Amino acid sequence: MSDKGMTGMIRLHKWQLDEKRRDMVSLEKMKQEFLQNLADLEEELAAEQKHVAASPVVSIAYAGYAQQVIVRRANIENSIVEIEASIENMKDQVAEAFRELKKYEVVEQRKLDRKKADLNQREQDDLDELSLNIHRRRQQTG
């Protein structure tokens, strides 16, 4: 693969990894929102129970309200379970995207290391030849 092709593949995999990380952050935010919704619902329920307990007349509407809270709580808890499964799935995808990126980065680094070693070898060969020529000239003049 050419240098440009390898660089393009690395850029593509970095972009894909970044996208998956952004998706992960979005999922985490959604989970936090659901958890906040659940906490808000619990506070609302506690306030309503306090209000009903303070009232001398038992509210018939409270039974309907309590049933509605149970359903809402179950829906939120189900959403949290689903989002947690999505988060676990996304963690796997992020890990896989990271492994793919690393493969290309390692190949690119090896290629650069080989080029550097080749350049160093050529420079050393040039220096050796120069030293040999200097040595020969000294031998001829001396």
pLDDT of residue 64: 86
Q: In angstroms, rounded to a whole number, what is the distance separating the alpha carbons of residues 141 and 134?
A: 11
pLDDT of residue 108: 92
Q: In angstroms, rounded to a whole number, what is the distance separating the alpha carbons of residues 98 and 91?
A: 10
Encoded amino acid at 72, one letter: R
pLDDT of residue 30: 97
pLDDT of residue 142: 65
Q: In angstroms, rounded to a whole number, what is the distance separating the alpha carbons of residues 2 and 108?
A: 10
142 residues of the chain, pLDDT tens digit each: 777 888 899 999 999 999 999 999 999 999 999 999 999 999 999 998 888 887 767 677 788 888 999 999 999 999 999 999 999 999 999 999 999 999 999 999 999 999 999 999 999 999 999 999 999 998 988 6
pLDDT of residue 93: 96
pTM for the full predicted model: 0.72
pLDDT of residue 62: 81
- Residues whose CB falls within 8 Å of the CB of residue 87, separated by 6 or more in sequence, listed in order: 24, 27, 28, 31
- Residues whose CB falls within 8 Å of the CB of residue 40, separated by 6 or more in sequence, listed in order: none
pLDDT of residue 6: 84
3 state DSSP class of 8? helix
